[in-house]
Amino acid sequence: MASNNNEQLNAICCDGPRGFRPWHQTEAAHLVLAYQEQRLPHALILVGPQYVEKTHFAREFAQFLLCLSPLNGVACSECKSCQLCVAGTHPDWINVEPEEPRKVLRVDTIRQVQARLQQTAQQGGNKVCVISPAEQMNENAANALLKILEEPPANTYFLLVAHHASKILPTIISRCQRLSFAIPAQDEIIHWLADDFTKDAIQQAIEKGRGFPGRVYTLLNGGVDTQLDMSRLDAFFSGRETAQDIAKNIDASQLPDFLDGFLRLASNSVKISQGDTVAAANNSILSQLPAAKLHQIYDRVAAAKTALAQNANPRLLLESLLLQCLSIYSSDL
């Protein structure tokens, strides 16, 4: 039986589920095979860093689950159900996401989801609920979802997308099959974008976007990636930009991601200072500092994240943080 499973899995992988990113092919093939063998769990949780296209994966798999005529693990894109998915009007597909970035998902939203899922599927097939990002459910909403997961409606699948799985109730995670996503290899990103951009342009975007494929795509399409454009921090520490220059170009919705990127940069710089050659691929001016200073900077950024969650003024917070870090950078130990 195991040999037969491997043959089926290879066939699906070779066919390549249409629409899945190159670095998602293996996970997609495993799930498609589980569904075909009627052993797919009713709830999946997709975890990993932001901007690795987890939500895209969830939506592609949702379309497969709703397709009326899938072939070899591929949604047909032609049936009425697929057409409704593409139009964003499928009655049996529920997308749950905050109305605004960083806003919490409340219990009333989950109760509305529960009411809809109790109804018969209007297209006569499955029902799918995608929650992204799942960690933004408040406690009451999470407990309401837990009750649904404990007794899920028939032919219903939940796809939870989480950037920070540690913020989700362990009881919810225990009722989901976990899929972990990491930053893909450069070759996979290049393969994904090679038809539309030159290899040199893609590699430059990979370097600037720190390897996050969602960021790379934004940069190649002319987007401004202020959240993870850490080259601006190098310019700041070398005196080419001021704290005010950086703060005025980062609004309140972008600041949490900027702080996350700053934390990763400080952590990466510690690894470089300790001789980590893999981390050195993402070098920064901060990596020239001794570890003691880098730890101080990391602590300041972490404290700023806490203050932001307590409704501190975003622009003043960022300006103050940058000046504190510059003082550490310039000081004698």
Q: How far is CA 204 from the centre of its chain?
A: 21
Fold of the domain built from segment(s) 2-180: Rossmann fold (3.40.50)
Pairing of strands 93-96, 156-162: unpaired
Q: For residues 173 and 155, give the distance between their C-alpha atoms in angstroms, rounded to a whole number.
A: 20
Q: For residues 214 and 90, give the distance between their C-alpha atoms in angstroms, rounded to a whole number.
A: 26
Q: For residues 284 and 143, give the distance between their C-alpha atoms in angstroms, rounded to a whole number.
A: 43
Q: Where exactly are the structural domains of the chain? A: 2-180, 226-330
Residue that has been written with the tokens 């949604």 in this structure: 75
Residue 49 has a pLDDT of 85
As given in the structure block, the two tokens for residue 158 are: 């939940």
At a CB cut-off of 8 Å and minimum separation 6, what does 190 contact? 199, 202, 203, 206
As given in the structure block, the two tokens for residue 249 are: 């170009």
Q: For residues 228 and 215, give the distance between their C-alpha atoms in angstroms, rounded to a whole number.
A: 8
Calculated CA dihedral for residues 229, 234, 239, 245, nearest 10 degrees: 10
The dihedrals phi and psi of 227, each to the nearest 5 degrees, come to -65, -45
Residue that has been written with the tokens 């901060």 in this structure: 286
Render pLDDT for 244-276 as a digit per residue (tens, 0 to 9): 988 887 767 678 778 877 887 888 788 877 776
Residue 227 has a pLDDT of 47
Residue 229 has a pLDDT of 57
Length of the chain: 333
Angle between helices 186-193 and 213-220 (to 10 degrees): 40
Q: For residues 259 and 262, give the distance between their C-alpha atoms in angstroms, rounded to a whole number.
A: 5
Q: For residues 78 and 75, give the distance between their C-alpha atoms in angstroms, rounded to a whole number.
A: 8
Residue 6 has a pLDDT of 46
Closest alpha carbon to 131 in 156, 151, 120, 123: 156
Pairing of strands 156-162, 177-180: unpaired
Q: For residues 149 and 157, give the distance between their C-alpha atoms in angstroms, rounded to a whole number.
A: 10
Fold of the domain built from segment(s) 226-330: Zinc Finger, Delta Prime; domain 3 (1.20.272)
Q: For residues 192 and 207, give the distance between their C-alpha atoms in angstroms, rounded to a whole number.
A: 16
Residue 283 has a pLDDT of 60
Render pLDDT for 2-51 as a digit per residue (tens, 0 to 9): 334 444 444 444 344 458 899 999 999 999 999 999 999 999 999 998 88
- Per-residue confidence in pLDDT tens, the chain, 333 aa: 333 444 444 444 434 445 889 999 999 999 999 999 999 999 999 999 888 999 999 999 999 999 999 887 789 889 999 999 988 999 999 999 987 766 789 999 999 999 999 999 999 899 999 999 999 999 999 999 999 999 999 999 999 999 888 889 999 999 999 999 999 999 999 999 999 999 999 998 888 777 889 888 888 876 545 444 566 788 888 888 899 988 887 767 678 778 877 887 888 788 877 776 544 445 678 888 888 999 999 999 999 988 887 777 888 999 999 999 999 999 875
